[in-house]
A and B are shown apart, each in its own frame.
Chain A
Amino acid sequence: MRLVLAGVLSVVLVVSACGGSDGSSDEGSGGGDGNRTLNVFAAASLTEAFGELEKQFEAEHDGVDVRLNLAGSSQLASQINEGAPADVFASANEKNMDKVVEAGGVEGQPETFATNKLTIAVPPGNPKGITSFADLAGDDLTVVVCASQVPCGSATEEVEQATGVTLSPASEEQDVKAVLTKVELGEADAGLVYVTDVTSAGDKVESVEFPEAEQAINDYPIAVLAEAGQSELAQQFYDLVLGRSGQEELSKVGFGTP
């Protein structure tokens, strides 16, 4: 009975969490030669870089279908701990990777494969003339940040502590894309996001970098999962990400090297 319940619950969770994305549940990672599926659970900020690596990996491995499940790291960690079929997990912070490690879900040790740091996203042309982190404390500014429970939010808090500048945001969004959207739509004068997010947003927003961002460097760990149905392929994908071409793709979209 417990098993059935857990199954129903995790299906509901996965279905609701994945929304429109490719899903990850149907035949899992089974299948014989020439028709194998590799399920990669990756933080949403990795969308562009991992999209490229997916193509590369599929080109190099005949008959392998890489399925990317892109969502918030904590959602992905919950899904993995609830038994969602996953071979590789790339998290946007160590905290969520640790949740999976604690649950015994990781094969070996996670490895940091990229770093990210905060920047100030402003509408094109920087209409409010923001030049520093301290400028964000201005009264007449609508500033949007991440909630402290998500990685970009805790990074924001660290910067606040390091600089002694206290922000009074209009909203604490649930993920960095939501912050970016508010800036893109012009609802917010500024938002604190990752460097990579500004890169992927193209010319819809501009980035105002600030030195204090170095106080809160975010490490991205990757790991092969214990329950991986395709542990060999998973190891190869892991190697690709940490290898030279993987690092090139990541730096193209703004990630730093560990």
Chain B
Amino acid sequence: MLWIPAGLALALVVLPVVGLLARTDYARLPELLTSSASLNALQLSLVTAVLSTVFCVLLGVPLAVVLARSRSRGVRVLRAVVLLPLVLPPVVGGLALLFLLGRNGFLGYLLDVTAGIRIPFTTAAVVIAQTFVAMPFLVVSLEGALRGAGDRYELVASTLGARPWTVFRRVTVPLLLPALGSGAVLSFARALGEFGATITFAGSLEGVTRTLPLEVYNQAEADVDSAVALALLLIVVAVLVIAVARPRAVEGRP
């Protein structure tokens, strides 16, 4: 009898999208999607989401390994901290980033005074905001996989003479690839859909910080049809990415 709740769950996910499709003005779709504002937003979204995913992987993999393998007590606290971006409302996350990297934030002030670098209102701020909210998805899926696998393969590798870095590179990472793939896809999807932290921390300016979700929100103020068309575009991009990346990730071949 699982199919009743399963069907409900599917309906909850699919029906709103069907609603979106039903409301789309298909006659105006090409014109709405090819406006320069839409194309700029799409390009910016793809570039920033890819960059954020790369940062998530580069930083998240070592973090997940440390969290899964460390036996110290403080790690339990750390694990909870890593999950914070998942529970924080994105707007609060954006504010937190401002308090750190904004002009009056302690790191932001330092950067401004010493190097003349200002992060808010730049594309870099978009990438940072997306990385911030997407990182937990990568870390959680990896850490789960690491815990499930245990460290037996790593132990064997070290007795075979592999130094810790070799073990990490030749055993830990390849074994993690399936989880890494799905974690990266999740992170990318989250980064692509990121809104609250971006608008708070990076602002909204066409071609610089106005990603697709921000453009959707912007258009929704003036022209709902345009917003719906853009939302459709966002969905298509997300579905494409998941469909293309997912099977390869699951296969787990390097």
Consider the complex of A and B and state whether they touch directly, i.e. have CB atoms less than 8 Å apart: yes
Structural contact, B221 and A74, CB atoms closer than 8 A: yes
Interface size of B in residues (CB-CB distance below 8 Å): 32
Give bound CA distance, A170 to B119, whole Å.
Answer: 12
Structural contact, A78 and B224, CB atoms closer than 8 A: yes
Structural contact, B103 and A173, CB atoms closer than 8 A: no
Q: Does B218 contact A (CB under 8 A)?
A: yes
Q: Does A172 contact B (CB under 8 A)?
A: yes
- Which of B16, B18, B23, B222 is the one whose CB lies under 8 Å from A149? B222
Structural contact, A8 and B221, CB atoms closer than 8 A: no
* Nearest A residue to B214, CB-CB: A174
Q: A12-B16, A149-B222, A171-B121 are in contact. Are A187 and B205 (CB under 8 A)?
A: no
Residue of B22, B103, B200, B204 with highest tally of chain A CB at under 10 A: B204
Residue of A6, A174, A186, A187 with highest tally of chain B CB at under 10 A: A187
> Which residues of B lie under 8 Å from residue A150 when comparing CB positions?
221
Could you tell me the distance in whole angstroms from the C-beta of B157 to the nearest C-beta in chain A?
48
Residue-wise interface mask of A (1-36) relative to B, using a CB-CB cutoff of 8 A (1 in contact, 0 not)? 010111011001000000000000000000000000
Q: Does A137 contact B (CB under 8 A)?
A: no
> Which residues of B lie under 8 Å from residue A5 when comparing CB positions?
15, 18-19, 22
Give bound CA distance, A9 to B23, whole Å.
Answer: 10
Structural contact, A170 and B16, CB atoms closer than 8 A: no
Interface size of A in residues (CB-CB distance below 8 Å): 28
* Nearest A residue to B18, CB-CB: A5
Q: Does B203 contact A (CB under 8 A)?
A: yes
Structural contact, B19 and A169, CB atoms closer than 8 A: no
Q: Does B136 contact A (CB under 8 A)?
A: no
Structural contact, B218 and A174, CB atoms closer than 8 A: yes
* Nearest B residue to A96, CB-CB: B221
Give bound CA distance, A8 to B8, whole Å.
Answer: 13
Q: A144-B203, A169-B205, A171-B203 are in contact. Are A149 and B15 (CB under 8 A)?
A: no
* Nearest A residue to B16, CB-CB: A12
Structural contact, B219 and A174, CB atoms closer than 8 A: no
> Which residues of A lie under 8 Å from residue B217 when comparing CB positions?
174
Give bound CA distance, A75 to B216, whole Å.
Answer: 13
Could you tell me the distance in whole angstroms from the C-beta of B8 to the nearest C-beta in chain A?
12
Q: Which of A160-203 contact B (CB under 8 A)?
A: 169-174, 178, 181-182, 185-187
Q: Does B193 contact A (CB under 8 A)?
A: no
Could you tell me the distance in whole angstroms from the C-beta of A45 to the nearest C-beta in chain B?
15
Sample 30 A-B pairs with CB under 8 A, ordered by A number.
A6-B19, A8-B16, A9-B16, A12-B16, A74-B220, A74-B222, A78-B220, A144-B203, A149-B218, A149-B219, A149-B223, A169-B205, A170-B120, A170-B205, A171-B202, A171-B203, A172-B205, A172-B210, A173-B199, A173-B203, A174-B214, A174-B217, A174-B218, A178-B199, A178-B200, A185-B102, A185-B104, A187-B102, A187-B103, A187-B121
- What are the 4 tightest A-B residue pairs by CB atom distance, in nearest-first order? A171-B203, A149-B221, A149-B222, A170-B121
Other A-B pairs, 12, CB within 8 Å; known A8-B16, A9-B23: A9-B16, A169-B205, A171-B202, A171-B205, A173-B199, A174-B214, A174-B218, A178-B200, A182-B203, A185-B104, A186-B103, A187-B104
